[in-house]
Amino acid sequence: MNRDRLKVNGTVYKVKHRKRVFLDGVKQAGVCVFQTQEIRITNSAPFDQFDTEWHEALEAINYHYQIGLTHEQIIKLAGANVQVLIENSWLGQPRGAE
């Protein structure tokens, strides 16, 4: 499993885990920089980090597919995705790929 790459619609993001992540001088759990194809994630408890990784993946999906979700909607979606994926691990792979 390669946790340092995220591919979204043909674009490959470098995923960097850091002690601290800032955006415009403000501390963040994570940030997705579309211009440089970089996702930075603050080191935290595994569940929180997973939620942040999903959040930034959804930010990238939202951007590349021009969905128009707000940051608040992405927070809720990431939380829901994480809960459903953890409790239904079969959803991570299509039938026959396991």
Residue ranges that bind Zn ion, judged by CB under 5 A: 71
Please say which residue, 10 or 75, places its beta carbon nearer to Zn ion.
Answer: 75
Alpha-carbon 95 to chain mean position: 24
Please say which residue, 27 or 95, places its beta carbon nearer to Zn ion.
Answer: 27
Q: Which residue is nearest to Zn ion (CB)?
A: 71
Please say which residue, 19 or 71, places its beta carbon nearer to Zn ion.
Answer: 71
Please say which residue, 32 or 97, places its beta carbon nearer to Zn ion.
Answer: 32
**Whole-number minimum distance, CB 32 to Zn ion, in Å?**
7
**Whole-number minimum distance, CB 84 to Zn ion, in Å?**
19
> In which element (H, E) is residue 73 found?
helix 71-87
